Amino acid sequence: MFLYRHFVPNLTIGAPVIESLRKHTKAYLDCHLMVTNPIDYIEPLGKAGASGFTFHVEVSKENWQELIQKIKLKGMRPGVALKPGTLIEEVYPLINSENPVEMVLVMTVEPGFGGQKFMPEMMDKVRVLRNKYPSLDIEVDGGLGPSTIDVAASAGANCIVAGSSVFGAPEPAAVISLMRKDV
């Protein structure tokens, strides 16, 4: 997962890095954009070879249908993310539309910095989504690792983002293997 951040203080990885990675892998490259104008990034990320394009519901309320259509036209899978303080009902119109998002990302920390503590109360959102949309891909991001993966998986998450717990581990492959088994 690659993050673009404009409504949070830091910026992570750009389209040139994705383009370079794409030359060496067929892996799913999921781009999570925390930007105020996500539509501006569709062309460069699509051209670079991004697989998924996840934008935040908090910044895309006026043109989300156009945004989803353009993401799909560039060959990427559209997803929508929501911060902990955002009501789950905010994403329903994007799931229920004629041209829906294909994944919902529930942030389990406040976006902006790695290493934050997992917020278990966000699993209520995951449960609601799983009950309402049984076949929807539901991703969780923030504070996920060996001690929290079971909670997320049992709530209904089927896509997991893990940063600090993997990259900070003495044996990252073992952490990845453990989390894959649980999900």
Give the domain ranges of the chain. Answer: 2-182
β-bridge mates for residue 96, sequence order: none
Ranges of beta strands (E only) in 68-113 are 77-82, 103-107
pTM: 0.88
Residue 129: per-residue pLDDT: 98
Q: How far apart are CA 168 and CA 15, in angstroms?
A: 25
Measured in degrees and rounded to the nearest 5, phi and psi for residue 7 equal -95, 10
CATH superfamily, domain at 2-182: Aldolase class I (3.20.20.70)
Residue 4: per-residue pLDDT: 47
pLDDT tens digit sequence for 81-90: 999 999 999 9
Residue with tokens 């539901």: 138
Residue 53: per-residue pLDDT: 96
* % pLDDT > 70, the chain: 89
β-bridge mates for residue 107, sequence order: 141
pLDDT bin (cut points 50, 70, 90) of residue 50 is very high
Mean of the per-residue pLDDT values for the chain?
88
Q: Is the pLDDT of residue 11 over 60?
A: no
Residue 53: HSE in the Cβ half-sphere, 13 Å Cα cutoff: 30
pLDDT bin (cut points 50, 70, 90) of residue 8 is low
pLDDT tens digit sequence for 111-163: 766 667 889 999 999 999 999 999 999 999 988 888 999 999 999 999 998 88
